Every structure is written in structure tokens, then in C-alpha cells.
Amino acid sequence: MRYSEHSWAKKMSILKNTLLFFCLSFSLFLSAQKISVGNNEGVSENMPLALHKNGNYSQFIYLGSEIKTSGNIKSLTFKLNTTGNLNIASFNRWTLGLKEVAATTTELSTFRNSVTPFSDFTRVFDGYIQYNQANGEVTVVFSTPFKYNHTKNLVVEINENSGGQMPYDYNKPTPKFQIFWTAGYRAGYRNKYGYVGSDHSYYGLLKERKVPRVIIGFKQDEVTQPVITMQNPAEASVCKNNSFVFSDVSVTENPNLKWTTDGSGVFEDDTKLLSKYTPSEQDATKGFVTLRLTATKESVTATKTFKLSIQADAKSAGTDGSLTVCKGTNPTDEQLFDALGGSAETGGVWVSIGLVHTYTQTTSLGCNPKKATITVKEETDVKSAGEDGVLSILKDYEPTEEELFAALNGFATTDGSWVKKNSNTYIYTITSTSPCVKNTTATIRVKRNQKTTNAFSPNGDGVNDTWMILADIANKYPKNTMCIYNRHGNLVYKALRYNNDWDGTSNGKITLSKKSKLPAGPYVYILELNNATKKVLKGWVYINY
């Protein structure tokens, strides 16, 4: 019986769609894990289907103990007994379903009670088969993978529904499938030429003790590449002769780990994530090593590198020493360094506590720091003219040597001599045979800019409430005497060592009301400095409220 043109066009449309699916899925099929079930123990031209006929139907059981693999089944391949250009109806269309049953279900009679195809099966394929004539294989690549657990048995159900009988070429051999024999009735089939109601029939199925040899293709599960995370930047430093333990490293996907190094040090456990690495002498000489972590998950790997710097010990600080200096002077770092014993190296730091100076050499990690101390001895016979200073005095007044000496800065020795260079410059000179002489001369510059004030207002407003005749008078002239008289010549105020603190209050003996404010008006003062010059200052001061 020949197909109509309409039937043939329909088959060609289905063929085009199916070929597109095959192209997309074939690369996955090639990379899948393949499990072969059964040996070539015979042949059948009816199972899984009769390729030279149409309207076929079959089902058969494969045992979990035969498959021994769990996963997503992607394809089934049935082996033919020959290769080449066989008598196969072109692109026969198959529908295929799979089903898991208990491991105790090993025969058709225990699970099938209906001949209705795919009533309780998972449909995984509906299209045209692939025939590899070079290998003699018929392959069905599923549109939907089937998840299978090998603790159960697998039932395969196939329906060939391409329509009427295809043209048959008697010049080509009839394809026959390889089968293997089983103990029970694990297979059944029917086709246009099948028998119903015979001794071997069961609901229209011809039962067999043989099952098609099959190659089950499991889809290769996608493996997620491990991700290694390290501190940023991925580097650290460690002291020579010390080990480094990783602490900030993580990895995903639970892969196999392997640490390697471009140096010659050793890992405590090169498969441990947070491993410990001990640098070698060669590593320390080089100054750094690169450590590499490789994470492998099945066929994919990830790597990450880590730079470990190795710091050498601190440089030499030399050995302890001593240094004698003149009293009142501080030794320089250069003097202290020169006083160190041994082979001290530059670059250290000095820390001083009193007369003990400590020189320390270290590294950024504090690798084996070195220390040495210099104890300083001060020579007591140290003379100095002091340092230059400035003396402010009253106009038309000559300073005393006592005043000049007090104006010197530094630590001047008292046994020097003064020379007046000009009216405003005085030079102080010391002589000594001791080497500890800081300065032999010092200069005092005299400023004759001090003036006495002759008015104040003791009214309690916080401004000019006391009479400031000369700045710092009590310190400059500690033996001074101040006397103040009214216009009648009566003593109204007297102070020994006046300190700019008179607020207009009378303390004179003839004052009618002591400790009372004097009336506004002019008053005469006499200020005896009582220094070496016996200088006496006289004038008037005005009280204004």
C-alpha cells in the first residue's frame, strides 16, 4: 500500500522539525555517559520495533542491577546485527516512554493490564529515529531527560506511528536487532503481523524471554566551576624562619584542592584549604614566593595565586657602648652611632630615656629586632658663657653686671667678665682649659625703651586699677623701695619690693582713714632700686577716678 501525497508531505514537515532537534541535541548525546546493557546473544526483527513495518508497539524491562547507574537518561541506542544500507522505512516515527517500577517487578504480567500506550509512562520522545549505518545503530535522543534511580527497574515502551506500510525494497536485507536472553517474560511486542490470543499473548502482546541489547546514554550533569576567594590584595608577609597559615581563603562547590609553590618551601597539608606554608632558605633569599591554589571539580578547575613575601631578620644594631659629653649638651645621633660597638648598620631608631640611649633595628613585621644601648656620661666641669640675650632698661640708665647676667640665656658660668662694646652692646666672656666649653662669649643687646607711667584709675573697672610703674619691677629689682607723698609732703604709701600693685589706698601713718582710697590728684613718688648702682627714680603720678 502506497502513501498518499498528503501523507508524504506531512511526514516531510515532521522530518524537518525533528532534524533541527537532533542537531541541537546530538552534541549533548556525544558527551553523555553511556551504559551498555546486555551482550549480543541473538537477533530479533520485531524488537524494539520492526523497522521495515509500520504500526509497531513494544515494551520491555531492564533491571536496575544491570544498569547500575542513576541519573538523567538522555538517549537509548539499539544495536543492529549488521551495518550498511538496510531495508529501513525512511525516517520511521517513534513515540517512546519510560517508567520506573519496583526492583521486584521483573515480568510484564506483574505490571501491565492495558494495551493503551503511555497511559502511565513519561513520554520522552516523539519524532524520527536516527540510523547510523556505519555503526549499525538506531538512536533515540530524548526531548526531555528522564530521571532514573538504579535501585528500581526501568520499563521502556515504544510505539511506531508513522502511518501505513512504507515501500519495501526486497533487494535490501531486513534489519535485525541484537538481543540477550532473560529468565522471565521481560519483553512484549505487537505489529500488523503480530498474533493475538496465542499461547504467548497477553492483552494483545507477544511476550518474549529476550530483551533488545541497549546502550543507555546518561546526560552529563553540568559541573559548576569552583570559585576561589582570597583576601584583596592576595598577598601577605612573614618573617624568615616563620610559617604562614592561610586564614582568609574560601572556595565553593566542595572541590578537590591542591596547593603548589614556585619556591622550595613545604606545605603542612597541600590538600587543606587553610594550609600552612614554611618558606625555605632559598625562599627567604629570593624574598618572596608565589603560592597557587587549584580547585578541581570533576573536569573543571579554578586557580588562584597568592604572593608571600619573606622578610629577613632586622639589621645589626651593634653592641652596647658609652659616650662622655659636656654637661648641658645633648649628644647627636651621629655621636651616639659612632659610640656603638660591633658592626652597627644605619637605618635604626634612637630612643632616649635620661642618659640612656637605645638604638633599635627592626622590620615592618618586627622580624627578630636588634637593640644596643649607649650610656652617656656628663662631664661636670662644663663652662659656658650662655647664649645671647636682650635687656630692656630705662632711658638714661646704665645696666649693672647683675642685670646683664640675668639677661643671658642658657646656662652661663658666673666667673666670666663683661666688656662694653658700645652703648647698647655688652659682651660676656669666659676662659677655661676644659674642652667642655659650650660658648666662650655671649652678647647682650640693651634696649633703652622702658618708661615709667604717671597715671592710673583705681575705680574697679579692671583697666589700670593699679599703678604699673615698670614692667616686672619686682623681679628685676627685688630690693626696691617705693614711697609716695601727697602735695603737703605727707607719706601716704610705702612698699618694700614694690610689685606694681598699688591701687590708690593709703597706708601712711598720718592718714586719717587707712586703707581708704586717696582723693584724685597728683602725688610724688620716690623709687629706690637698691641695686648695685643705687639708682633712685623720682617723679609724680596722677590718680584719676
What's the rounded Cα separation, in Å, for the pair 59 and 207?
Answer: 9
Tell me the per-residue pLDDT of 83-115, one tens digit each, with 9 for 90 and over.
777 766 555 678 899 999 999 999 887 655 444
Q: How far is CA 66 from CA 248, 276, 323, 416, 512, in A?
A: 47, 47, 94, 119, 138
- For range 155-181, the mean pLDDT: 74
Residues 324, 251 contacting (CB under 8 angstroms): no
* pLDDT over 90 (residue 397): no
Upstream peptide bond of 48 is cis (omega within 30 degrees of 0): yes
Residues 58-85 have a mean pLDDT of: 91
Strand order in the sheet with 93-101: 122-128, 93-101, 153-160, 57-62, 187-190, 205-208, 201-202
Q: How confident is the model at residue 545 (pLDDT cuts 50, 70, 90)?
A: confident
Beta bridge partners of 93: 128
Q: Is the pLDDT of residue 277 over 90?
A: yes
Band (pLDDT 50/70/90 cuts) for residue 401 is confident
What's the confidence (pLDDT) of residue 41?
Answer: 94
Cis bond before residue 226 (omega within 30° of 0): no
- Confidence check: pLDDT of 27 > 70: no
Cell of 440: 666662650
Q: Say if residue 2's pLDDT is above 50.
A: no
Torsion of CA 78, 83, 87, 88, to 10 degrees: 30
Task: Summarize pLDDT for 111-123 with one digit per residue, the tens.
Answer: 554 445 667 899 9
Residue 253 zone, left/alpha/beta (φ > 0; ψ -120 to 50; rest): left
Cα separation, 69 vs 27, in Å, equals 21
Which range has the worst mean pLDDT, 235-249, 303-317, 379-393?
379-393
Residue 279 has a pLDDT of 97
Q: In this structure, are residues 39 and 180 in contact, taking their beta carbons and an 8 Å threshold?
A: yes
Which range scores top for mean pLDDT: 208-222, 361-375, 385-399? 361-375
Sheet holding 349-353, edge to edge: 321-326, 370-379, 356-361, 349-353
Q: Give the lowest-confidence range in 264-278, 308-322, 519-533.
A: 519-533
Q: Using one digit for the tens of pLDDT, what is the confidence trace for 223-272? A: 788 999 999 999 999 999 999 999 999 999 899 999 999 999 999 999 99
Helical H segments across 339-459, by residue range? 401-406
Residue type at 461 in one-letter notation: D
Confidence of residue 307 (pLDDT cuts 50, 70, 90): very high
Residue 168 banded pLDDT, cuts 50, 70, 90: low
Among 86, 80, 87, which Cα is nearest to 43's?
80
Q: Assess whether pLDDT exceeds 80 at residue 217.
A: yes
